[in-house]
């Protein structure tokens, strides 16, 4: 007996820098878990990387190779999931073009992330057709595989709502070709950087995935804790401390309770607390580093896996595009 097809999940990441613990616990661990009962497509959104920085393209491919290595090192299984490169499947571009014909400008201009990114990156010229069209290309990425669900962070939910609107409009005009993908909101662990803000490469407060034990230790020992806790004798509040958030990810319940109680009573100091965290974090980082290095030493093997994934993704994308062209009476 063949088992029923598993629901399709699609998600992508832009290859714009080394992945850090924020990516690992905010997205990748969820991707890993989804493999158990979904048919997963995970890709490098290299074309999307161009939308906010068309001028610097030389880092995209090297970053992409590292990103695939990180995916595998984090536990994404190339035997079970398909990983591929967006630009290697040209059907993304074809569907993007067709969806562009039916997407009203107003929907794109109203997108909250469009406004927000333009404000945050005000030093860059973002009055660009490609940047405005970000959610259209993203829609193509998703529905090309007829995804039932998309694991995204809270910041991408508005994009997905747009995707659903575009799907409804397409299906309304040309017939029911696409399912409406649901957002799978990650119950993402919160990861705070070494300066107390959200962990982000652009803040320079990140701990990289598989960073060697030595520098992981240095960053943790130097990290900001509860800013109100100036002296060893001051009572602390773990709820405002990034170290406690990492304990919740890495340490067992008993240790978390120990931190919670003794931070509030000043029973332990931050140094004790950090050392306790490192007992779990260091070996984890070390194991990740070893897996990454083993993979980086075999670039040919990783390349082959990506090629296989590209071919698999392409086959599915081509099948969908045949239906699209037929529905639109273009074939």
Query: Across the beta sheet with 8-13, what order do the strands follow?
Result: 82-85, 39-44, 8-13, 149-152, 182-185
Compute the least distance from the CB of residue 227 to ligand SF4, in Å: 9
Tell me which residues in 120-149 interact with ligand TRP (CB under 6 A).
Answer: 138, 141-142
Identify the DSSP state of 40: E
Which CB atom, from 193 or from 238, has the smaller least distance to ligand SF4? 238
- Residue 252, classified by CB atoms within 10 Å of its CB into exposed (0-12), middle (13-18) or buried (19+), is exposed
Binder of residue 207, out of ligand SF4, ligand TRP, none (CB less than 5 to 8 A by kind): none
The closest alpha carbon to 84, from 71, 97, 93, belongs to 71
**Whats the size of the chain, residue-wise?**
331
Binder of residue 10, out of ligand TRP, ligand SF4, none (CB less than 5 to 8 A by kind): ligand TRP
List 8, 9, 14, 238, residue binding ligand TRP (CB under 6 A): 14
Distance CA 58, CA 44 (A): 15
Compute the least distance from the CB of residue 169 to ligand SF4, in Å: 50
List 143, 150, 209, 313, residue binding ligand TRP (CB under 6 A): 150
- Helical segments of 194-298, H only: 213-221, 242-250, 253-264, 270-296
Distance CA 111, CA 135 (A): 9
Which CB atom, from 12 or from 238, has the smaller least distance to ligand SF4? 238
Binder of residue 138, out of ligand SF4, ligand TRP, none (CB less than 5 to 8 A by kind): ligand TRP
List 10, 67, 76, 192, residue binding ligand TRP (CB under 6 A): 10
Q: Decide: is 152 part of the binding site for ligand TRP (CB under 6 A).
A: yes
What is the number of helices (H) and of strands (E) in the chain? Answer: 15, 5
Tell me which residues in 29-58 interact with ligand TRP (CB under 6 A).
Answer: 45, 48
Residue 178: Cβ within 10 Å count:
25
Compute the least distance from the CB of residue 231 to ligand SF4, in Å: 11
Distance CA 268, CA 279 (A): 16
Residues near ligand SF4, by CB under 6 A: 225-226, 229, 236, 238, 241, 243-244, 259, 263, 268, 270, 273-274
List 156, 216, 251, 285, residue binding ligand TRP (CB under 6 A): 156
CB–CB of 193/200 below 8 Å?
yes
Compute the least distance from the CB of residue 186 to ligand SF4, in Å: 24
Adjacent-strand bridge partners of 11: 42
Distance CA 223, CA 217 (A): 10
3-state secondary structure of 12: strand
List 9, 11, 19, 277, residue binding ligand TRP (CB under 6 A): 11
Compute the least distance from the CB of residue 45 to ligand TRP, in Å: 4
Q: Decide: is 184 part of the binding site for ligand TRP (CB under 6 A).
A: no
Compute the least distance from the CB of residue 83 to ligand SF4, in Å: 37
In the chain, the largest separation of any two C-alpha atoms, in whole Å, equals 76
180 token code pair: 């409406």
Compute the least distance from the CB of residue 195 to ligand SF4, in Å: 14
Which CB atom, from 13 or from 34, has the smaller least distance to ligand TRP? 13
Which CB atom, from 12 or from 309, has the smaller least distance to ligand TRP? 12
191 token code pair: 């990861």
CB–CB of 86/46 below 8 Å?
yes
Q: Decide: is 277 part of the binding site for ligand TRP (CB under 6 A).
A: no
Q: Which positions lie near ligand TRP, rule CB under 6 A?
A: 10-14, 45, 48, 138, 141-142, 150, 152, 156
């Amino acid at each position: 007996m063949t088992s029923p097809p598993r629901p399709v999940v699609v998600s992508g990441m832009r290859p714009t820098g080394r992945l850090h613990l924020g990516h690992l616990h905010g997205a990748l661990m969820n991707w890993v878990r989804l493999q158990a009962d979904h048919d997963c497509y995970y890709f490098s959104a290299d074309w999307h990387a161009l939308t906010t920085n068309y001028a610097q393209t030389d880092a995209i491919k090297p970053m992409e190779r590292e990103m695939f290595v990180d995916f595998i090192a984090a536990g994404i299984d190339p035997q079970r999931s398909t990983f591929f490169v967006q630009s290697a499947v040209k059907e993304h571009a074809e569907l993007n073009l067709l969806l562009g014909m039916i997407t009203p400008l107003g929907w794109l201009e109203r997108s909250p992330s469009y406004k927000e990114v333009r404000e945050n990156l005000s030093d860059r010229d973002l009055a660009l057709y490609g940047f405005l069209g970000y959610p259209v290309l993203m829609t193509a990425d998703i529905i090309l595989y007829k995804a039932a669900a998309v694991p995204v962070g809270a910041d991408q939910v508005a994009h997905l709502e747009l995707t659903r609107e575009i799907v409804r409009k397409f299906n309304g005009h040309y017939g029911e070709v696409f399912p409406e993908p649901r957002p799978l909101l990650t119950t993402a662990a919160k990861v705070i950087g070494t300066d107390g803000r959200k962990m982000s490469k652009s803040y320079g407060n990140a701990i990289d995935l598989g960073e060697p034990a030595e520098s992981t230790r240095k960053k943790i020992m130097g990290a900001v804790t509860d800013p109100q806790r100036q002296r060893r004798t001051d009572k602390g509040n773990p709820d405002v401390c990034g170290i406690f958030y990492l304990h919740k990810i890495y340490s067992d319940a008993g240790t978390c309770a120990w931190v919670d109680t003794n931070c509030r009573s000043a029973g332990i100091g931050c140094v004790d607390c950090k050392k306790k965290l490192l007992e779990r974090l260091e070996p984890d980082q070390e194991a990740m580093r070893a897996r990454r290095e083993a993979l980086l030493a075999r670039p040919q093997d990783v390349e082959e896996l990506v090629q296989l994934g590209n071919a698999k993704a392409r086959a599915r994308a081509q099948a969908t595009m045949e239906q699209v062209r037929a529905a639109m009476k273009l074939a």
